[in-house]
Amino acid sequence: MASDSKDNFSFDILNIHDFLQSKDPHRDLTYDDEQVLKSYIVNNDPRTLEFAMSLFNVDRMGEMSKDPQKQLIMGSIASITLNTRSFVRAGIPWSVAFAISDMYLQQLDFNFTKEQAAEWYYQSLSTFLSMRNVSPSDLMEETSISKFSKLVTSAINYIYKNLYSNITLKDVATSLYVTPDYLSHLFRTETGVTFSRFVRKQKIEMAKIMLMNSASSLAEISNSLSFCSQSYFTKVFHEETGYTPNEYIELSKNG
């Protein structure tokens, strides 16, 4: 059995060697290109958007598929994934960065033309860049999470990872092997808000991002964030922000 495993490993290594020999070394984006883009993002360099778009070239995205369409889609996914991690390093809360990434990946059409993929990528970058100027006062950043106990930190991470689901105290407590009453008490003591209030505040913060950076309808946003109805979503949004979703959109557009 061990011999078979070794033979398979050797065979894989030979395949990699042959693949490298057949590749055009001038086709791939370089590691240095990626590092320059990462540096631009982290340092909020005004050249970020222009430089990122110059790198978004399907003919320089390596050779992930012989099929040009698959090559385009795989390159698009790889590009937004790299950018997401760079923007997290730049200071955007990871929950927000990953939500933006997920939102655009859900909009990625596997039949996109090169031009449509470039526009999709441009919009995703613009959304990330716009979030650099958003106050994080209502968003729980990773740095502030560190002041909480391990249990509450785990609960907050659970909320962020499941923001598009119907999150219940019982489900979170079960996942952490504690009773709902204990988690509820500890959560409120450490964060200053109830578990349910924290969840809905995070959902509304995500709704703000979606309202300003997607073409989704109120019904689609409400449904994606697991509100029971659009009317209830509007009610909660108003309670948390003082505005209806439509009023918030108009207010944001006007400055």
pLDDT tens profile 162-219: 888 899 999 999 999 999 999 999 999 998 999 999 999 889 988 887 887 767 789 9
Q: What is the pTM of this model?
A: 0.57
Across 114-128, average pLDDT: 90
- Supply 47's token pair: 């050249």
Sorting pLDDT into bands at 50, 70 and 90, what band is 143?
very low
Confidence label for 15 from pLDDT (cuts 50, 70 and 90): low
218 and 233 Cβ atoms separated by less than 8 Å? yes
66 versus 236: the higher-pLDDT residue is: 236
Span 81-114, pLDDT tens digits: 989 989 888 877 776 788 788 878 888 888 999 9
Tokens 């990946």 label which residue?
A: 105
Residue with tokens 């988690």: 183
Within 10 A of 220 (CB to CB), how many other CB atoms are there? Answer: 13
pLDDT for residue 194: 94
Choose among 137, 153, 148, 33: nearest CA to 93.
137
Determine if residue 93 is left, alpha or beta; phi over 0 gives left, psi from -120 to 50 gives alpha, anything else beta. Answer: beta
Residue given tokens 């050249």 in the structure block: 47
Domain extents for the chain? 2-131, 137-253
Q: What angle do CA 5, 9, 12 make, to 5 degrees?
A: 140
Token digits of residue 181: 């009453």
Q: How confident is the model at residue 118 (pLDDT cuts 50, 70, 90)?
A: very high
Place of tokens 């320059």: 36
> Which fold, 137-253?
Arc Repressor Mutant, subunit A (1.10.10)
> What band does 134 get if pLDDT is binned at 50, 70 and 90?
low
- What's the pLDDT at 255? 58
Specify the DSSP class assigned to residue 147: T
pLDDT digits (tens, 9 = 90+) for 231-244: 999 999 999 999 99
- The average pLDDT across 131-157 equals 66
What 9-12 contacts at long range (C-beta under 8 Å, 24+ apart), as own/partner pairs, is none
pLDDT at 7: 52
In this prediction, residue 138 carries a pLDDT of 45
More confident residue, 72 or 142: 72
User: What b/e sequence results for 125-152 when a residue is b if at least 16 CB atoms lie within 10 Å of its CB, and e otherwise?
Assistant: bebbbebeebeeeebbeeeebeebeebb
| pLDDT of amino acid 39 | 92
Name the residue among 178, 210, 245, 13 with its Cα closest to residue 106: 210
CA 38 to chain centre: 16
* Spatial distance between the Cα atoms of 34 and 40, rounded to a whole number of angstroms: 10
- Which helix (DSSP H) or strand (DSSP E) does residue 155 occupy? helix 150-161
